[in-house]
Structure 1
């Protein structure tokens, strides 16, 4: 992919005759400095780590009920419909949260939104742990979902806007880190279940799900406690709002780059102002060059979410029911599969995306998943040891493909298909549709697996197939492309599609 940048895009940072500091004349200059990378010893990596901490919370809270649904249904005497309500309440909240959070991320800034949504996690986690009935539990999970939905647009904005453009640790690699972080959170929930399962007496086994859900408040409190030391506003977003002095201060504090602002009237008059945050920006995602990117990112997100939720969140059910294993074996097998394949696949994506690109990795990941799901459908319910091994191998293949393919890069496509002025609404729109797919998947998988058994994998296989078709039809590579430059191009400039 290529792009011709208009000659008057922006002034490159230049040194003054008596002051060696880079000069900031526009938001484009700030973006250029960020793209070159942070100074050694700066706080930029810590900011990225804290943003990933938000992703950790999202994943932990979404997956925390994987082992507790049966206990909740028994404690509150829930029907299958009631169980589905409790299980899917968090995704309903995430749908609304993503739509609102995407707009607020662009409107009031990354920092304010990120710090506000941490309180959702603390309050909702404690309320879930103390829930006296299913209604309170479902309502608390819905509030938690609001936090999850609000968090991902702002977390992806931080990852994209505090990372260099090219080379190791580039924007695509930083965003891909969300994937191993996600699987690490799922693994932590499994480890907690394993530890509590071992120490809780049989008479108190009903506490297990409450303790697991309540633990979600702990990392949120830690993030709140350290926010003032490291977290800053995105310098590119601040510059886009016309606050060049604020952007310069952030660059010095978080990036270790000391700059000088040129605020002369002539410079201000020549500076092109990027689009301002507005609800109408959601419509901009469906116009011009962004339409193709939005279609591709949306199909990847929906296909990835539908298949992953059905297989990964249903993994304990698959292992315990289809493979006839005990609770302890189910926990250990689920933990091993997530760590050894999904988590490792995510690390592979982070290391290889700067060289290989997100498009090729996503194609390869979907191909792995399609082969795995077809294999699971053909094997069916294992009848002997050899078939059990084959079924586990196919599950591992699916999770590996998810890790280095769509699991990592669904967010790469969603985040890097849009410049700073549209990134919040772009990720928010993507997450709204993806969470809708998650809700359908979480609700349908128990119903379909009960009715169809292992034949359900034929239906799930349609998801990676759709992803492959979309990728082959729209060959858009976001890794290494300076999408933020599109905010500063003159009307005659061309952008890559």
Structure 2
């Protein structure tokens, strides 16, 4: 039997490997790919819904003769729902499971988006967009938590950035829908919303096919299910499972998994992040209160993440929610505005790709800070652009760096917290960021009326600088195991 003390570079005490350690030592397998793609499709559908709204706002604003204030309210109300959803989703995921909440959020926002296609007035649409936001806000931190808890430690950051890259796929799909469908007729925006029913159907797949978090199952005392989930991933790697006698004697009673057989994949795994307690939480451990996020070992991480999430949300949603509208306000037609937005959006994919490669080379903090710096410079360039080529170059750079930063942020957020509060911590950071995503759509158009496009994008650049300050305070966690206890 392979024990923790026999692993090269191990700093843990002698004994059999825990299930978490068994997962950390696996290569990337077909089981990981199924989880990544299954979660990523949900992520892309989420992005498509948010992205479609930026195009729909242009059409509805013209058809319904909405004032600046009404358009701002409609653009921000979904983010108010996302703030509430992110906080509640994280809490629920730490109590009833990651997969359950993931599926529920898809169902909620899919049905509400489909219903938005039938809205006959502004008040109804505002109410439905708030409900959509509840589902959208809860899904993102839960999905990233689930994927990060299965990803091997040595590539965890890269895997989560790849998950985040599905956001670009969804936003590009939204841009295509916006370009081809929304301007096609007066009912074009309704058909765009009708496409949002797809997530509700996809929720059935998530509920039946994606695995539940092993760490959550262990904390819930469901050790047989946890062992079964780990063995599926080990089997996908071609690793023989431990004997049932060994499991009964160790894992099912003490929460520690037996070691792997001789077919195990070699290679050291770094110890848990410094400053936090080690060891798996016992089955039936009590609920950890939200105030644990501000305990001595976690306080700096929480503050740093909240600042970073606030700055990134303000700049991203302020810019990308209104880019089509601002281009129209600057004299471009709706179709040309949507076409330019599609070109700009395509740059999100290479931004994610570069961030995914660099995050396990430079580390999380270095990638996040450098991509935020690039975002700030690009935002200033977009605001000062005086021609179509300059707009496209600056917009492409903004997409590239901003979305690469998003990928790194989603990678570092769940791994900054121990298992009992991981989804709560990720959800709370996301929820705090959503405050900025509520404010940004509300203030962008009024600011544009006062200080113009250049001034607005200077404000976005300042928000990126604020996010850089928060990111610089984060602890570097490249290669560390996910911690199990507070």
Q: TM-score range by the shorter chain?
A: 0.7 to 0.9
Match of 1:309 among 317, 321, 332: 317
CA distance in 1, matches of 2:50, 2:122: 17
Within the alignment, does 1:36 sit opposite 2:25 as a pair?
yes
- CA gap of 1:75–1:374, structure 2 versus 1, over 3 A, is closer
The answer to whether the Cα contact below 8 Å between 1:180 and 1:344 also exists between their aligned partners in 2 is no
Q: CA deviation at 1:157?
A: 1.4
Q: Secondary structure at the match of 1:215?
A: helix
Cα pair 2:43 2:166 within 8 Å, conserved: yes
Distance change >3 Å, CA 109–CA 222, structure 1 → 2: closer
Residue aligning to 2:270: none
Deviations 1:291-343, CA, capped at 9 Å, x for gaps: 11112211111111111112222221233333x3222222221111111x222
**8 Å Cα contact 2:36-2:147 kept in structure 1:** yes
Equivalent pairs, count: 448
Q: Which residue of 2 aligns with 1:463?
A: 463
1:159 is aligned to 2:158: no
Equivalent pair of 1:179/1:343 in contact (CA under 8 Å): no
TM-score after normalising by structure 1: 0.83
Q: Residues 357-404 of structure 1, C-alpha deviation per residue, up to 9 Å, x if partnerless?
A: 121111211221222233344x36x2xxxx443333222222221122
- Equivalent position SS for 2:332: coil
CA distance in structure 1 between the partners assigned to 2:443 and 2:211 by the alignment:
41
1:331 corresponds, among 313, 338, 354, to 338
Do the aligned partners of 1:48 and 1:158 also contact (CA within 8 Å) in 2?
no
- TM-score, normalised via structure 2 length: 0.85
Match for residue 300 of structure 2 among 278, 288, 292? 292
CA contact (8 A) 1:102 1:426 kept: yes
Q: Which residue is 2:228 aligned to?
A: 249
Q: How does 1:464-479 map to 2 (within 5 A)?
A: 464-472=464-472, 474-479=473-478
- Change in Cα spacing, 1:475 to 1:427, as seen in structure 2 (3 Å) is closer
* Alignment partner of 2:124 out of 102, 121, 136: 136
What is the 5 A alignment of 1:270-419? Answer: 274=281, 281-322=289-330, 324-339=331-346, 341-377=347-383, 379=384, 382=386, 387-404=387-404, 406-419=405-418
C-alpha contact (below 8 Å) 1:55/1:152 kept by paired residues: yes
- Which aligned pairs between 1:93-172 and structure 2 lie closer than 5 A? 93-166=81-154, 170-172=155-157
Q: Determine which of 146, 149, 165 is the counterpart of 1:180.
A: 165
Give the corresponding residue for 2:275.
Answer: none
How many angstroms apart in 2 are the aligned matches of 1:265 and 1:408?
38
Shift in CA distance, 331/262, structure 1 to aligned 2, threshold 3 Å = same
Query: Could you tell me how far apart the structure 2 residues matched to 1:279 and 1:94 are?
Result: 24
Paired with 1:412 and 1:365, the residues of 2 have a C-alpha distance of: 14
The alpha-carbon deviation at position 451 of structure 1 amounts to 1.3
Counterpart of 1:65 in 2: which secondary structure? helix
Paired with 2:379 and 2:286, the residues of 1 have a C-alpha distance of 42
RMSD: 2.6
CA contact (8 A) 1:304 1:410 kept: no
Matching residue within 180, 194, 200 for 2:179: 194
**Structure 1: which 5+ residue stretches go unaligned?**
14-28, 489-497
Whole-angstrom CA distance in 2 between matches of 1:249 and 1:116: 24
Secondary structure of the residue that 2:298 maps to in structure 1?
A: helix
Provide the rounded CA distance (Å) in 2 between the counterparts of 1:87 and 1:40. Answer: 41
Q: SS at 1:314's partner residue?
A: helix
1:452 is displaced (CA, Å) by 0.8
Q: CA deviation at 1:270?
A: 9.0
Q: Give unmatched runs, 5+ long, in structure 2.
A: 1-8, 257-278
Among 219, 232, 257, which residue is 1:240 paired with?
219
* Contact 1:412/1:478 (8 A) holds in 2: no
Which of the residues 7, 12, 15 maps onto 2:16?
Answer: 12
Distance change >3 Å, CA 48–CA 295, structure 1 → 2: same
Report SS of the residue matched to 2:54: coil
Deviation at 1:268, TM superposition (A): 4.1
SS at the partner of 1:285? helix
1:91 and 1:142 in contact (8 A); partners too:
yes
Per the alignment, residue 192 of structure 2 pairs with 212
Contact preservation (8 Å) 2:111, 2:196: no
SS at match of 2:181: helix
Question: What's the offset of the Cα at 1:92?
Answer: 1.1
Match of 1:221 among 192, 196, 201: 201
Secondary structure (helix, strand or coil) at the match of 1:150 reads helix
User: Are residue 89 (structure 1) and residue 77 (structure 2) matched?
Assistant: yes
Sort the Cα spacing of 1:403 and 1:70 in 2 relative to 1 into closer, same or farther, 3 A: closer
Q: Secondary structure at the match of 1:293?
A: helix
The separation in 2 between residues aligned to 1:372 and 1:90, in whole angstroms, is 27
CA distance in 1, matches of 2:255, 2:392: 61
Match of 1:19 in 2: none
Equivalent residues of 1:175, 1:411 under 8 A apart: yes
- 1:487 match: 485
The CA deviation string for residues 45-72 of structure 1, in whole angstroms up to 9 with x for no partner, is 2122111122112212222111121332
Secondary structure of 2:127's aligned partner: helix
Q: Provide the C-alpha distance between the structure 2 equivalents of 1:121 and 1:227, rounded to a whole number of angstroms.
A: 15
Question: Structure 1 residue 156: deviation in Å?
Answer: 1.0
CA distance in 1, matches of 2:431, 2:343: 31
